[in-house]
A and B are shown apart, each in its own frame.
Chain A
Amino acid sequence: MGPYDASIPTGSGSCSSSSSSSCARKASDVDGLLAGAGYKVKSSDLLQVAKRLERLETFMVNTPSEISQQLASDTVHYNPTDLASWVDSLLSEFNHNYNQPHSFSSSVSDLSDFTADLHFSSVPDYWIEKNYTSPPHHPLTAVAAAATEEDSGIRLVHLLMTCAESVQRGDVSLAGSLIDYMQTLLSQVNRSSGIGKVAGYFIDALSRRLFYPQAVCAGSAFENEIWYHHFYEACPYLKFAHFTANQAILEAFDGHDCLHVIDFNLMYGLQWPALIQALALRPGGPPFLRITGIGPASPDGHDSLRGIGLKLAELARSVNVRFAFRGVAASRLDHVKPWMLKVGPAEVVAVNSIMQLHRLLSSEESLDTVLAWIRSLKPRIVTVVEQEANHNEPEFLDRFTESLYYYSTMFDSLEACTIQPEKTVAEMYIQREICNIVSCEGLARVERHEPLAKWKARLGAAGFWPLHLGSNAFKQANMLLTLFSAEGYCVEEKEGCLTIGWHSRPLIAASAWQAAPDPPPDPVPTPAPHVVVSS
């Protein structure tokens, strides 16, 4: 009998005093108290986990501390919420290197060697720590209606909600008067920052919804391109998306030579030069890379997809990576058919979706169709980055409220950017999203953001298993943040996914997936035995 006999109360509290059957029922549940601390451990596994922690401690006590720390820092950690597997991964690292104090570094296979050049020069870990003058210590989020704003700011928020509520009820005349009143109030508030700035965009979007519902929210192709590039430079959200996805793709492609990346929205191809460069530096030589870029057909007839492809090919040539590009023009992802992607039999496929899946949510069928054909390609990895927000609730007021807080936070983070004109022009990129969420409906409303939890459920149901993003991606995402002067950005790990946010409100979430193996075919049913009951 170990030290944990039945008399010591366990986490569920009531187990020791209740009947054995209720104990059995609870055994397969996650320990509720540890869950409140952020850890998922099944009650039935508690003893096992405790034993493994003990074993880990024994290893650590018998290893010099410098080596323990080096091991910890070189190891890629995954999903600390799953405490059992985290402890196990450390155990296997220590076990592997136990009694081999001098060869530990060579035994840890880690992609950080060649991905370090992805965006920055590789510097030893301790150098970064020592030179932290103002480290990102992940402060918490500020809500739009925070106490730091003056009275008119708070009043504006209340009025916006009241106006949105009257819009939802169909009371056009009240909504209209409220909009007029808010415009006047706006003139008394500082419009260049904080609530004044955000309110302006939302008032504008509300008035569009009421009076110009047919108006299109996007700018011209030229404008969109300018806004995108400025947003890309002014804040880290897009770079985080590209960078994290690339890291995951690189890891998934490790050991393979015939690679095919399918990009769900090529845009200006900004994600790919870094990947191409990283592949060029791969030990053992670069593989063959094909990129298929999906994007809308250019209105003026000129093949913009091909143009980007040519630039990428040029870059690939300059670093000796064998490269091929194909553009697939489609106005919607559900118009794409798998045969258009021409996936070769020997190719290892990565599907990359940066803020595209939510656009399919105007019809459940569209998303199901696309997820099904993604799966049919048997991709090695599917990288998904989405806005971490609930902007697709059925009720307008809920969408409005959510997006008000979400974009307030995002504008807050932009405010901290000092580069001009990036900052002002970047706002147009955001304004376009606000406009779409608030003033559009039906198929026109494409910015149907949903939170990570919902995406996890959808992807799980469609036959995908999560691939965890680890501490290496986390660390490098943090290093990306050091390029941005603003203090409030933070990267967080959440059960194998990474989020980037401002003052701890996550705004963008990145996750990676693989197709679950096909279930085995149903066994051929055997005929029921002929039963004779004799009396």
Chain B
Amino acid sequence: MAGGNEVNLNEAKTVVPLNTWILISNFKLAYNLLRRPDGTFNRHLAEFLDRKVPANAIPVDGVFSFDVVIDKATSLVSRVYCPVPVDEAQPGIVELERPLSTEVVPVIIFFHGGSFAHSSANSAIYDTLCRRFVGICDAVVVSVNYRRAPENRYPCAYDDGCAALKWVSSRPWLRSGKDCKVHMYLCGDSSGGNIVHNVAMRAVESDIVLLGIILLNPLFGGEGRTESETKLDGKYFVAVQDRDWYWRAFLPEGDDRNHPACNPFGPRGRSLEGLEFPKSLVVVAGLDLVQDWQLAYVEGLKKAGQDVKLLYLEQATIGFYLLPNNNYFYTVMDEIKQFVRSNCYLLKLQNSSNK
């Protein structure tokens, strides 16, 4: 076993603030208790321990939220977060018949993390994060409560992602701008980042237009062991064997980590050359042990001639974006805001020059 029985916690403690260390360590230990060696998952205890918050139609800090059923058949629900419009007389009542505004309002479809098995759209950490996105980007956020492993394996999460994308693209009340369209972005962290890539791949084959995708510490992997996995195993909250467990729980039974869902540019992957893939922003934490796979993903996109921006944060660990108590948090939020709003600015220019 890597590291033996000695608990090597010293590194993590020196690079994150105390409350972050407590939060992530708490998750780490709780999650250890939930994963069973036989591949099953203690779902009851997981749901009991997960801290959840209800939606709130009353604006708090300029954001209100409500839950919608997207697909009754699969019980697919999403939480929608909206900014309170400045000129609206009655905030909290969503005018479901009118478009959002003549200004462009980006709609970010968000996929929460949790290695495909943990968390929900109504988990406190993700509710908080989505509210932050609304405030920072002046966007609507739709957080998808996708089906989780091991009860629901590949491709359930991707199917749910696509269903959500279709739903968002067909809501008249999410349209904005003078071109009266839904301006969509995908965003996700950890397993959510993986879902973002795979849903974007499917979107490319449909007529749905994505303006951009954002991947925060996305989960990718492969059969080989990379240098970062070996070097960082067990050092910053994450161990390789845990990562392996989650892939075994998500991928089709008996399959391995070279499955294209896990390893999009591996031996079973395909090139994206020539495809109209949306521009992407990929954030990689320098202390995340899967970074080599994430960097390989970025390389794969570059080789295919796609527009990809890499944000490499040297001393960041997993979960750094959950609490606004470190510089990386602010750096990433600024980048995301730029990424999402630059289109709005361009469209504004376009529209005014078309007059």
Contacts and interface: CB of A to CB of B under 8 A. Distances in A.
Contacts of B324: 13, 33
B346 interface: no
B9 interface: yes
B124 A146 contact: no
Interface in B89-134: 94, 96-97, 120-125, 128
Contact of B120 (A3, A138, A471): A138
Contacts of B148: 137
A474 B36 CA distance: 20
A242 interface: no
Given A8-B17, A475-B48, A37 B322 contact: yes
B42 A31 contact: no
Given A10-B17, A488-B75, A80 B23 contact: no
A150 B13 CA distance: 54
Contact of A141 (B29, B55, B123, B124): B55
B36 A46 contact: no
Interface stretch (B61-69, B252-260, B282-290, B296-304): B61-69
A129 B53 contact: no
Dominant secondary structure at the B interface: mixed
A142 B77 contact: yes
Nearest to B121: A140
B178 interface: no
A125 interface: yes
A166 B322 CA distance: 45
B97 A154 contact: yes
A471 B33 CA distance: 14
Contact of A77 (B13, B23, B45): B45
Interface stretch (A48-56, A355-363, A376-384): A48-56
Contacts of B350: none
A80 B67 CA distance: 25
A503 B42 contact: no
A100 B325 CA distance: 42
Contact of A148 (B49, B68, B124): B68
Nearest to A492: B52
A139 B173 CA distance: 23
A504 B122 contact: yes
Interface centre among A83, A132, A146 (most CB of B within 10 A): A146
A38 B125 contact: yes
A478 interface: yes
B14 A139 contact: no
Contacts of A126: 36, 38, 40
Interface string A215-230: 0000000000000000
A139 B75 contact: yes
Given A61-B7, A129-B41, A493 B48 contact: yes
B45 A130 contact: no
A478 B66 CA distance: 25
Interface stretch (A63-71, A255-263, A287-295, A511-519): A63-71
B193 to A, nearest CB: 20
B10 interface: yes
Given A38-B124, A147-B173, A478 B7 contact: no
Contact of B125 (A37, A151, A474, A475): A37
A37 B128 contact: yes
Nearest to A128: B44
Contact of B97 (A39, A72, A140, A151): A151
B57 interface: yes
Interface string A116-153: 00000000011001101011011111110111100100
B250 to A, nearest CB: 14
Interface string A73-104: 10001001101000100100000000000000
Contacts of A81: 51
Nearest to A141: B67
Nearest to B124: A38
Nearest to B10: A3
B313 interface: no
B7 A143 contact: no
B215 to A, nearest CB: 22
29 contacts: A9-B17, A10-B17, A10-B18, A13-B325, A31-B19, A34-B22, A38-B52, A39-B26, A50-B21, A53-B26, A54-B25, A56-B29, A60-B29, A60-B33, A72-B34, A73-B45, A87-B26, A126-B36, A137-B43, A137-B148, A138-B120, A139-B76, A140-B67, A140-B145, A143-B55, A145-B94, A492-B47, A504-B55, A504-B122
Interface of A: 3-4, 8-11, 13, 31, 33-34, 36-39, 41, 46-47, 49-50, 53-54, 56-58, 60-62, 65-66, 68-69, 72-73, 77, 80-81, 83, 87, 90, 125-126, 129-130, 132, 134-135, 137-143, 145-148, 151, 154, 471, 474-475, 478, 487-488, 490-493, 503-506
